[in-house]
């Protein structure tokens, strides 16, 4: 049997039954990486000696009767997470030799759960792209078409899973960085509710690993099955022991329903600020039709939906105000000059991003208040619905495009070009208010590329979209190897 494409749940059961050892699983994963990753370039920092040592330790622990959630399961970790003794660069050449002394809290949790870490996966520079390439480690290719991107910023992790390089991976998401690579590579990912999984130790070098509550950004699981997402989220969730963990524990409510027929779902396929490509539209409708077929209540419109255009503008302002905080003063002042020259009537997303980069604290508070109003709107919507199905990006994976600056690039949607960063509006639907969102495979494009959609759920009710993902996997199918 080729264990490399089995789910974490399946290989854990096989190890419990004595059908395979962690050493055998780890050796098989390493052999596959050494054979296939030259063409993909997903694993940018291999750690095979330590992985084999961890696998031997896992087998000894199991022989003693231990059974932890991830005991002996081979996994990978996004490069942006600190692992003691391995480089953390975020793709920045000036930090190519930066090696942290301590594990990120999520890496510590993986190790405590018994996982075998095969190595780290590739990212874009500063995690700020929808593709994964940098001068240190090169470009990660999409396993379905090597001329196309695997997505970003967790593109290395998504490609690794699609290729059978480990059963699980951990990534992060601020602008779809878990969901977009999952969509492009045909796997599963879950963006947790904001704050559910601590991010200490996922910090750009050489900044210290502090227990900071990040705005918008989350740590989250990636897998080849929906059930594996839940398995890994159980390990990742819970407050940081240095702060909230001193007083609080996590107790996520159960999924609202256990059968597709019981779900009330709002399906969205159109956004007022950017079109949805035909391949992605077909994926959304494939899921909608499956829900209808099973007797779920499916609606296409609701007056309860918070204004998507206003939400996208708030998202761009909040995200870019954070991203620009560390810019050199002379760059910041130039941006202020450019923002001041904008017409008051310019309501484009480009203008929202520019204004966001120089947002005053007064204006940031105003934007944050707007976010809270949207969160209240979502609470009202989720009193009537259990989940929202919508695109992750407007298109499947596109050809590598490394030309020029990010703001100068464009994305082609059915033959028409749009500003590169405008494609983030669908990711922002869940990110801006901090909602959980599960990315699932939803078929293929006419060119044979994977197409995914996201299932957005109520805040801190992560089990609801995750359970919906499991039920849809049974109905429409899930991961397929390239």
Which residues are annotated as catalytic?
Answer: 78, 153, 177
* Separation of alpha carbons 455 and 392, rounded Å: 9
Total Cβ atoms within 10 A of residue 23 = 17
* Separation of alpha carbons 374 and 383, rounded Å: 14
Cα angle 274-275-276, degrees, rounded to a multiple of 5: 125
* Separation of alpha carbons 142 and 156, rounded Å: 9
Q: Please name the residue that has the structure tokens 């199991």.
A: 62
* Contact of 188 with 224, CB cutoff 8 Å: yes
Sign of torsion, CA 88 89 91 93? negative
Q: How many helices (H) and strands (E) does the chain have?
A: 14, 17
* Contact of 185 with 151, CB cutoff 8 Å: yes
Q: Which residues pair with 43 in a beta bridge?
A: 121
Q: What phi and psi values does residue 87 have, to the nearest 5 degrees?
A: -65, 140
Estimate the share of the chain in helix, then strand, then coil, as percent rounded to the nearest 5. Answer: 40, 15, 40
Name which of 135, 107, 112 is nearest 122 in CA terms.
135
* Contact of 160 with 167, CB cutoff 8 Å: no
* Contact of 41 with 258, CB cutoff 8 Å: no
* Separation of alpha carbons 204 and 291, rounded Å: 42
């Amino acid at each position: 049997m080729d264990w490399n494409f089995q789910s974490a749940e399946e290989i854990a059961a096989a190890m419990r039954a004595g059908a395979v050892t962690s050493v055998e699983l780890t050796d098989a994963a390493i052999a596959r990486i050494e054979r296939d990753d030259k063409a993909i370039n997903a694993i940018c920092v291999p750690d095979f000696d330590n992985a084999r040592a961890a696998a031997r330790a896992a087998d000894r622990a199991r022989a003693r009767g231990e059974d932890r959630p991830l005991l002996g399961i081979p996994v990978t970790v996004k490069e942006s997470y600190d692992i003691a003794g391995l480089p953390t660069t975020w793709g920045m050449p000036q930090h190519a030799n930066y090696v942290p002394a301590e594990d990120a809290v999520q890496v510590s949790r993986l190790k405590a759960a018994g996982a075998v870490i095969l190595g780290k996966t590739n990212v874009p520079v500063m995690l700020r792209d929808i593709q994964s390439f940098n001068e240190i480690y090169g470009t990660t290719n999409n396993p379905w078409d090597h001329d196309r991107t695997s997505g970003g910023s967790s593109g290395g992790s998504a490609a690794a899973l699609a290729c059978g390089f480990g059963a699980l991976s951990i990534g992060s998401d601020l602008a779809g960085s878990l969901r977009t690579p999952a969509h492009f590579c045909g796997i599963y990912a879950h963006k947790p509710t904001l704050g559910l999984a601590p991010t200490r130790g996922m910090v750009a070098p050489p900044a210290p690993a502090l227990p900071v509550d990040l705005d918008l950004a989350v740590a989250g699981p990636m897998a080849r099955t929906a059930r594996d997402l839940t398995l890994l989220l159980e390990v990742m969730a819970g407050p940081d022991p240095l702060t909230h963990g001193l007083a609080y524990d996590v107790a996520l409510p159960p999924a609202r329903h256990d059968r597709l027929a019981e779900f009330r779902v709002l399906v969205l396929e159109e956004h007022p600020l950017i079109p949805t490509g035909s391949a992605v539209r077909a994926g959304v409708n494939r899921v909608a039709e499956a829900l209808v077929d099973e007797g779920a209540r499916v609606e296409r419109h609701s007056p309860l939906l918070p204004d998507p255009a206003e939400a996208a503008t708030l998202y761009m302002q909040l995200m870019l105000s954070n991203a620009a905080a560390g810019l050199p003063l002379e760059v910041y002042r130039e941006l202020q000059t450019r923002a001041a020259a904008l017409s008051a009537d310019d309501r484009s997303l480009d203008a929202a991003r520019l204004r966001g980069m120089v947002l005053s604290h007064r204006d940031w508070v105003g934007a944050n208040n707007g976010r809270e109003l949207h969160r209240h709107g979502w609470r009202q919507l989720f009193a009537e619905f259990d989940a929202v199905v919508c695109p992750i990006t407007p298109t499947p994976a596109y050809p590598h495009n490394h030309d020029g600056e990010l703001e100068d690039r464009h994305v082609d949607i059915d033959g028409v070009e749009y500003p590169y960063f405008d494609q983030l509006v669908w990711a922002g639907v869940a990110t801006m208010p901090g909602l959980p969102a599960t990315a699932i495979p939803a078929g293929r494009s006419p060119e044979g590329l994977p197409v995914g959609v996201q299932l957005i759920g109520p805040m801190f009710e992560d089990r609801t979209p995750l359970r919906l993902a499991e039920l849809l996997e049974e109905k429409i199918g899930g991961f397929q190897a390239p």
